[in-house]
Amino acid sequence: MEEKINLKELNIREGDTGDFISHNVDNCTGCGKCVLICPANLWRLEKGKSILASDYKDRCMECAACESICDYNAISFMFPKGGTGIKYMHG
Ligand code: SF4
Ligand code: SF4
């Protein structure tokens, strides 16, 4: 799928974030809201559950929209530790 935003022109990434998003598959109903809202297309549906892209640490915008929109507490987002992760070039 085509990227909704040209990520490469917006940011650089620094350091090792470690994992900062976790997905509780047992709570996931497959409603698809995370798929629709993620600006980086990092979620997809498969067999009635959502799946987070394995390379999300390299592409995530750290917007936390996926956690906010999930009505079933299936997504947990924590900002990466200071000095790591996305660094916006504009704004
Ligand atoms: S928004 Fe939550 S319940 Fe819905 S598909 Fe995504 S993780 Fe699953
Ligand atoms: S934090 Fe934002 S960019 Fe990252 S996976 Fe969630 S919705 Fe997508």
| Cα of 48 from ligand 1 centre, angstroms | 10
List the domain range (segments joined by +) for residue 46.
Answer: 7-81
User: Residue 39 domain-assigned?
Assistant: yes
How many structural domains compose the chain? 1
Q: What is the pLDDT of residues 35-59, one digit of tens each?
A: 999 999 999 999 999 999 999 999 9
Q: What is the pLDDT of residues 7-34, one digit of tens each?
A: 666 778 889 999 999 999 999 999 999 9
CATH number of residue 21's parent domain: 3.30.70.20
In this structure, which ligand is nearest to the CA of 58? 2
User: Residue 90 domain-assigned?
Assistant: no
| Cα of 28 from ligand 2 centre, angstroms | 16
- DSSP one-letter string for 1-48: ---SS-HHHHEEEES-----EEE-GGG-----HHHHH-TT--EEEETT
Confidence of residue 70 (pLDDT cuts 50, 70, 90): very high
